[in-house]
Amino acid sequence: MAEVVRMPKMSDTMTEGVIAKWHKKVGDKVNSGDLIAEVETDKATMDFESYQEGTLLYIGPKEGEAVAIDAVIAVLGEEGEDYQALLDGGDAPAAKEDAKEEKAPESKEEDTDEDAGSGDESVSAEDLDCTVITMPLLSDTMTEGVIAQWNFKVGDTIKSDDAIADVETDKATMEVTAYADGTLLHIGVEAGQAAKVNDIIAIVGPEGTDVTPLLNQKSGSAKKAQTETKSEDKPAAKEENKAEATTTSEDDDARVKASPLARKIAKDKGINLNDVKGSADGGRIVKKDVEGFKPAEKAEAPKAAATSSAPATETKSITLPQYIGEEKYTEQGISQMRKTIARRLGESLFTAPHFYLTISIDMDNAMEARGQINTVAPVKVSFNDIVIKAVAVALKQHPAVNSSWRGDKIRFNEHVNVGVAMAVEDGLLVPVVRFADGKSLSHISAEVKEYGQKAKAKKLQPADWEGSTFTVSNLGMFGIDEFTSIINSPDGAILSVGAIQQIPVVKNGAIVPGNIMKLTLGCDHRVVDGATGAAFLQTLKGLLEAPIRLLA
């Protein structure tokens, strides 16, 4: 049966979306999870994946056209199926149902299944005057969300602007708005459980409405597939168990029951375990059985040897105290943030060819300049703030480093948005200092501090972490001398900042104390070459060693 595809709500402030690009055309086969389009929202351009299967029968808006939320943008169904009734606002054609009525049933069970299925498919949310609320795509990297808490319960009356639930995404906890007036009829996911994007999480409609047909319609095909999988797995599992049991039985009959330690001692002493009687359960041979074993034919030999001659040397035995330890561990579920970090950094490392360049910076002048700046600055400026400002100025001079790989083209960004990696309890967030080249050190410092507080409180919004063109990661405050970082895609490079170390340096032919900081530039070799990255680091070195140039 044909189904409509509607414009999803991809952010909490989105009212309409623009079709940036179609990845499928009419007539193409679409599977659940396939990328069918790119949608430009008020905050970002996001991928739109289908959660339906079938042939793409109809595409409504063209690329570049804006579409309101929940408007029909496409239709999926069987090849050649008539879908015009869906576009006119009516129900799907009943041609197949008429054909089923004329066809003679083969068995009572099949009649029952078909009748139940057709009854479920013939009911839509519009027929019941209900609104189905699905898990929204709240960030460009989100694949599923966890219901942190429900603000209403089944039977409560809600308004269209009510926040019915709090959803934990991979980066923040955000509110889900109902966008419908009525009674909360169904809650599909309990608090603490995860749901994939576009899965049903609630249904709103007139009080007393039976929404069972809607739920059966969504779950019918999944249950059938699950049943088929289980029925296929059972015979194979039985055969494997049977074969395994037979192998174990044959192995047990072919060897003597003994502990590994007893086997080792017996091998060292040349004792045949078939001659040893086991004292453990089931006649199993253990260490004391082997150590206490005396062959019958050699029982008197030790006595004769002892009486005939005294031992030439005495062997001292060392007794080690026995230590008994306990193996234990704890496990915890993976958070949404950690799942996304694992996925995105894995994609970056194994997709972008990384190479690294390291340079040493003399920070004596920067340390002196920072002390003077903080005597007059409205907020305290850190070394990281100075690095961010220097990076922004250097990127304006080296646009090739301020670029990103876009598959069939390279994007050279004329604006400079510096992402600042921040460690939080669940992982890592990268809020963005936008247009950093035009901001003062005090402005950058205040902005980074605000982002740090919001990140720890999980209050960052998608607009705070989207749109970086370059990233700075600083572990100097943890005493790390130097390190390498994985590029924050789609950026073309990332800078790793180490600690300032006091080491001997040579100046004017003399060895004197110096303050040295190491910077490591990680580059995507598809967009940044070695010489290009080296030239950028030379410019950055000059700015940090003569920080007065940052104020010019």
Instruction: Note whether 468 and 491 are within 8 A (CB).
Output: yes
Residue of 171, 181, 243 lying closest to 206 (CA atoms): 181
Active site residue 525: yes
Q: Which of 23, 415, 443, 525 is catalytic?
A: 525
Cα separation of 374 and 382, whole Å?
Answer: 9
511 three-class SS: strand
For residues 354 and 487, is the Cβ–Cβ distance under 8 A?
yes
DSSP sequence for 72-135: EEEEEESTT---HHHHTTSPPP-HHHHHHHHSPPS-HHHHHHHHHHHHHHT--TTTTT-EEEE-
Beta strands in 295-451 (DSSP E): 354-362, 403-405, 410-412, 418-420, 422-424, 427-429, 432-433
The question of whether 82 is a catalytic residue gets the answer no
Amino acid symbol at 437:
D
Question: How many angstroms separate the first and last alpha carbons of the chain?
Answer: 68
How many residues can be counted in the chain?
A: 552
Exposure string (b/e) for 49-80, b if CB count within 10 Å is 16 or more? bbbbebbbbbbbbeeeeebeeeebbbbbbeee
Residue among 98, 111, 129, 529 flagged as catalytic = 529
CB-CB contact of 79 with 64 (8 Å): no
Catalytic residues: 525, 529
